[in-house]
Amino acid sequence: MKKLYEKNEQTFATLWIVIYCVLQSAANPLNKKIGIEYSASAAFCILQSIILFAFLRRNDLTKRYGLCKTSVPARQFLYYVPLFILATGNLWNGVAVNYSLPATVCRIVCMLCVGFLEEVIFRGFLFKALAKENVRSAILISSVTFGIGHLLNLFNGSGMKLVNNLCQICFAVAVGFLLVTIFYRGQSLLPCIITHSAINTLGTFANEEGVTVEKHIIHGFVMILIAVVYTLILTKVLPKPVCKEE
């Protein structure tokens, strides 16, 4: 794995994206066979997280990929208040128990790991590899790729409806731009991982009762608007990193 990374970071990032998507897709039918929702998904995510974190630690890459504190004061990030709003967006319609206890535990574990994995892969590996050539292109490609990747939810047996998936993709692209901006300007991936994990995890307890298609679209629009406005603010108030990409 180290040899491939040193030879070509873009190929390394692409390979991780493919492996992640394939395993997550393969997990859905396994979950049904096991009889506990998210059981296989959680197992795959835990395994991938351990391997990925061990690779970063062993090769002294944690700081390069933002697994460290930011040197930028929190007030310049508006104390991350917009991130808190986005993270709790799934609970705006109330809280509900949607899964059995075993499935709830598995989903929470899975979603926490997904937040870590997707941030390191898309905002870390992919963005850093592409930023060597052009930062703007890296921001665009990593964000759009992250959003489009959610299209798999239509075909991997997750049962997600088309409208929900389209809203998810649009929101993921908007959040992708926001999180990569936070990482690029702050040089820390921790706020991104925490926010991403919180959005996914709190979705476990989202109350979908009475949520019409129209309400879902409005909710998605508000979330996207918050992400876009926050991104624009950060690009104005935060300085660009002094150091250049290696």
CA 69 to chain centre: 19
CA 211 to chain centre: 24
Residues 6+ apart with CB under 8 A from 42: 106, 107, 109, 110, 113
- Residue 101: helix, strand or coil by DSSP? helix
pLDDT band at 242 (very low <50, low <70, confident <90, very high): low
Task: Parse the chain into domains and list their residue ranges.
Answer: 2-237
pLDDT band at 135 (very low <50, low <70, confident <90, very high): very high
Is pLDDT of 157 > 60? Answer: no
pLDDT band at 246 (very low <50, low <70, confident <90, very high): very low
Q: How far apart are alpha carbons 18 and 147 in whole angstroms?
A: 15
Instruction: Find the largest Cα–Cα distance for the chain.
Output: 52
> What is this structure's pTM?
0.94
Predicted local distance difference test score (pLDDT) of residue 155 = 67
pLDDT band at 211 (very low <50, low <70, confident <90, very high): confident
